[in-house]
Amino acid sequence: MSLANNILDAMKTVLPQGGGFLPLHEPVFPGNELAYTKECIETTFVSSVGKFVDRFEEMLADYTGAKRAVAVTNGTAALHMALMLGGVKAGDEVIIPGLTFVATANAVAYTGAIPHIVDSEETTLGIDADKLDAHLSTLAEIRDSECFNKETGRRISALVPMHVFGIPSDIDGLLAVCEKYSIPMVEDAAEAIGSFYKGKHCGRFGKVASLSFNGNKTITTGGGGAILTDDEELGALCKYLTTTAKVPHKWEYFHDMVGYNYRMPNINAALGCAQMEKLDEILLSKRKLAEKYVEAFANVEGVRFLKDPEQCSSNYWFCTIILEKGFEAERDSILEATNGAAYMTRPLWTAMHRLPMYENCPKSDMNVAESLEKRVINIPSGAGIIGV
Amino acid sequence: MSLANNILDAMKTVLPQGGGFLPLHEPVFPGNELAYTKECIETTFVSSVGKFVDRFEEMLADYTGAKRAVAVTNGTAALHMALMLGGVKAGDEVIIPGLTFVATANAVAYTGAIPHIVDSEETTLGIDADKLDAHLSTLAEIRDSECFNKETGRRISALVPMHVFGIPSDIDGLLAVCEKYSIPMVEDAAEAIGSFYKGKHCGRFGKVASLSFNGNKTITTGGGGAILTDDEELGALCKYLTTTAKVPHKWEYFHDMVGYNYRMPNINAALGCAQMEKLDEILLSKRKLAEKYVEAFANVEGVRFLKDPEQCSSNYWFCTIILEKGFEAERDSILEATNGAAYMTRPLWTAMHRLPMYENCPKSDMNVAESLEKRVINIPSGAGIIGV
């Protein structure tokens, strides 16, 4: 038996068969999604004003424990705004993992800053804190409580952990690096709604963080994202900047800063409210699926199912298997066999330092990221598989 | 009788009374809005993939006559993308009218270019082509078929007419200026879906244009916008750049340019398709309302109702009255009286050259804009007033 066949057999013990192509992550709408959407249309409040935006922001703040959540058009806009609020300026460098969706690097580029790409760790797929420390020890210089890259002369103004597939990164290790080198943390928690690190929601560890509610995420608003912060002033500024920076007045249109039209429409927030009401059930269903996968892959040689790190609770956004070293050459045949059997599977993103627009960015050695690129496979993960 | 009372009396002959506060422009959902939205939720296609996005883009292209329409998150994103596709680069200057919503200037700022703010004309509220010609004649220099500002040394890489309240700007006059000074036109048609200049839809005259479907627009998608172009290559590039610039592949995630997450979600496009089906009826209803206003204001001394220019068909997005010179001091009492009588009215936006972040931008004299700021008032304009 080939590894591809063994993996497919394991998946068959967990997944439905004969139901057509099973996507990697189909949303589920088990609650008030239609009712709330209908309410928007019937009251004509579909757009930038409406109660669901406020309610969705409150639900996000309550759930994550953040003092303020601001809903925006998508996770990319959220990270762009989070970086700006975090203090990133044009000409800075921002540390990001090589293993992330391209939006992380693009959001840095929108600010005019340059991504500084660093390696990941095998256990969480997030930034390797020890390796980052070693990397910075050779090139970082602290002046007036700010970190500079001695080689490029640029200020390093943020470290952006990305919680890959909802698995919390090594927050304690990364916070220690941030403190040692005077670098503020801005979390890209796009994939991490419902993920907790030592009991605290991802996105609560840095100055400001972003979430995403794209269609393939744990919960969806069609397209959407949010900024989280515990700094109420920063939260108010965030709301102001994402809604065109208009000075409140009964009729005048006066704006005093370059603002953005990043607001989430009420009809999308309506979906979000309904989804938040079901988030715990969705997470439970996804966790049950992950547990079934753990069992199914326990005895498959050459591959392991990626579990939560200790003291962490992943949302298991994308369930993930990792081929052991030596099995890299099997990856494409596994992708062929599983997709061919109507189970959608997908490899990791191409690492950021290998994309043409970012290939000349400063970086650490990328050995682990390059190895993981050849060994990581996502498998079907939606809450609809087991049901809500 | 004061002018405020006369205006209020004229409005009362047109508008319903006693029905609560009448907004400036409430959307109407007379067709398949709920049915299509429901279909999105029931099929789970609420997000970036789905038939309504394609269909909405086709409907927009068919209606406007453009070769390609690309749906995006909102009008600001659409103009940002249109400027980039139009060739605007960081450090350039872009000519915009002082009388516009701040998004026009902000979109220029996002590209790293500098707004060059010019004056408007009384008839269309759009850029005054003759005045622009005179202004450019003193400062423009053409080198290698590109226009430069002799005073700043910067390239002037686009002229952005904005069709104010849906009234087509003086396109022929502006195109002549574009040709004379070798400046490409990029149209901000955010307010102009359903507006035609000499039989051709606004947004079809430059290299590329933007539309908006914000909640207060003639038709709405909650939040949304679109890019129009007759250049199919540019249209394909637009779709690529607004959807993260991902190279098509069965499973690899490889991106070869700094892309954007500007895609319109399917659930918003579903609203858009239903609204497009009713666009003609909505326009007809708004035109009837405008005709009633024409009659109502015909004999009110000191004010005129702003009609379509000759050979043009405005969508009458926002119905507009203009106080005659000498009546500027009445503006605020008119706003107080009408809003106090539960008819929402609004003055013009503060002109761009008077906003702190743009006050140091290059500009022409702004006499007309500054006069209009004190004399223009928008009055209730929604299709729901007469009905669809």
By C-alpha distance, the chain B residue nearest A335 is B251
Which residues 59-98 on chain B approach chain A with CB closer than 8 angstroms?
73-77
Which residues 92-151 on chain A approach chain B with CB closer than 8 angstroms?
101-103, 106, 109, 112
Query: Measured between alpha carbons, how far is A55 from B337 in angstroms, rounded to an integer?
Result: 34
Q: Give the tens place of pLDDT for each residue, B325-337.
A: 999 999 999 999 9
Considering only CB atoms, which chain B residues are within 8 Å of A77?
261
Considering only CB atoms, which chain B residues are within 8 Å of A29?
41, 44
> In 3-state terms, chain A is what percent helix, strand and coil (to 5)?
40, 20, 45
A174 pLDDT higher than 90: yes
Q: How confident is the model at residue B49 (pLDDT cuts 50, 70, 90)?
A: confident
Classified as helix, coil or strand, B159 is strand
A49 pLDDT higher than 80: no
Least CB–CB distance from B350: residue in A101, A254, A349: A254
Question: What class is the B3-28+279-379 domain?
Answer: alpha beta
Contact B255/B247 with Cβ under 8 angstroms?
yes
A44 pLDDT higher than 80: yes
A4 pLDDT higher than 80: yes
Query: Measured between alpha carbons, how far is A330 from B317 in angstroms, rounded to an integer?
Result: 60
- For the domain with range B33-277, which CATH number is right: 3.40.50.300, 3.40.640.10, 2.40.30.20, 1.20.120.80? 3.40.640.10
Average pLDDT of span A230-246: 97
Residue-level pLDDT at B221? 97
Q: How confident is the model at residue B19 (pLDDT cuts 50, 70, 90)?
A: confident
B349 pLDDT higher than 90: yes
Give the mean pLDDT of chain A. Answer: 97
Six-digit token string for A358: 């970012």
Taking CB atoms and an 8 Å limit, are B215 and A356 in contact across chains?
Answer: no
- In chain A, residues under CATH classification 3.40.640.10 are 33-277
Residue-level pLDDT at B18? 86
Interface predicted TM-score (ipTM) = 0.96
A170 pLDDT higher than 90: yes
Shortest distance, CA B248 to any CA of chain A (angstroms): 13
- Cβ neighbors of B343 (< 8 A, separation 6 or more) are B8, B11, B15, B22, B379, B380
Residue-level pLDDT at B20? 92
How many A×B Cβ pairs under 8 Å?
190
Q: Give the tens place of pLDDT for each residue, A194-213.
A: 999 999 999 999 999 999 99
Residue-level pLDDT at B255? 96
Please report, for residues A164, B113, B278, B386, the alpha-carbon distance to residue B32 in angstroms, rounded to integers and kept in the order given: 39, 41, 9, 20
Average pLDDT of span A120-129: 98
- In chain A, residues under CATH classification 3.90.1150.10 are 3-28+279-379
Q: Give the tens place of pLDDT for each residue, A65-104.
A: 999 999 999 999 999 999 999 999 999 999 999 999 999 9
Average pLDDT of span B162-169: 98
**Chosen from B47, B96, B246 to mutate, greatest number of chain A CBs within 10 A:** B47
By C-alpha distance, the chain B residue nearest A274 is B41
Contact with chain A for residue B41, Cβ under 8 A: yes
Q: Give the tens place of pLDDT for each residue, B103-117.
A: 999 999 999 999 999
Six-digit token string for A317: 């956004």
Query: Measured between alpha carbons, how far is A102 from A267 in angstroms, rounded to an integer?
Result: 27
Please report, for residues A318, B165, B190, B223, B326, the alpha-carbon distance to residue B216 in angstroms, rounded to integers and kept in the order given: 38, 11, 11, 10, 31
| Percentage of chain A exceeding pLDDT 70 | 100
Query: Measured between alpha carbons, how far is B222 from A9 in angstroms, rounded to an integer?
Result: 45
Average pLDDT of span A127-138: 98
Taking CB atoms and an 8 Å limit, are A223 and B350 in contact across chains?
Answer: no
DSSP state letter for B265:
P
Contact with chain A for residue B215, Cβ under 8 A: yes
Least CB–CB distance from B261: residue in A74, A346, A348: A74
What is the DSSP secondary-structure string of B56-120? HHHHHHHHH--SEEEEES-HHHHHHHHHHHTT--TT-EEEEESSS-HHHHHHHHHTT-EEEEE-B
Q: Give the tens place of pLDDT for each residue, A343-370.
A: 999 999 999 999 999 999 999 999 999 9
Q: Give the tens place of pLDDT for each residue, B111-158.
A: 999 999 999 999 999 999 999 999 999 999 999 999 999 999 999 999
Residue-level pLDDT at A81? 98
Q: How confident is the model at residue A47 (pLDDT cuts 50, 70, 90)?
A: confident
Considering only CB atoms, which chain B residues are within 8 Å of A259?
102, 106
Q: Are strands B146-149 and B155-159 parallel, antiparallel or unpaired?
A: antiparallel
Least CB–CB distance from B47: residue in A37, A102, A215: A215
Contact with chain B for residue A248, Cβ under 8 A: no
Average pLDDT of span A286-296: 98
Please state the pTM of the whole predicted model: 0.97
Q: How confident is the model at residue A220 (pLDDT cuts 50, 70, 90)?
A: very high
B48 pLDDT higher than 80: no
DSSP state letter for B300:
-
**Distance of alpha carbon A295 from its chain centroid, rounded?**
26
> Which of A43-57, A105-119, B45-59 has maximum average pLDDT?
A105-119
Taking CB atoms and an 8 Å limit, are B73 and A73 in contact across chains?
Answer: yes
DSSP state letter for B213:
-
Taking CB atoms and an 8 Å limit, are B34 and A38 in contact across chains?
Answer: yes
B165 pLDDT higher than 90: yes
Six-digit token string for B124: 């269309």
B89 pLDDT higher than 90: yes
Considering only CB atoms, which chain B residues are within 8 Å of A76?
260-261
Q: How confident is the model at residue B46 (pLDDT cuts 50, 70, 90)?
A: confident
Query: Measured between alpha carbons, how far is A83 from B57 in angstroms, rounded to an integer?
Result: 32
Q: How confident is the model at residue A385 (pLDDT cuts 50, 70, 90)?
A: very high
Contact A93/A139 with Cβ under 8 angstroms?
no
Residue B379, beta-bridge partner list: B319
Classified as helix, coil or strand, B278 is coil
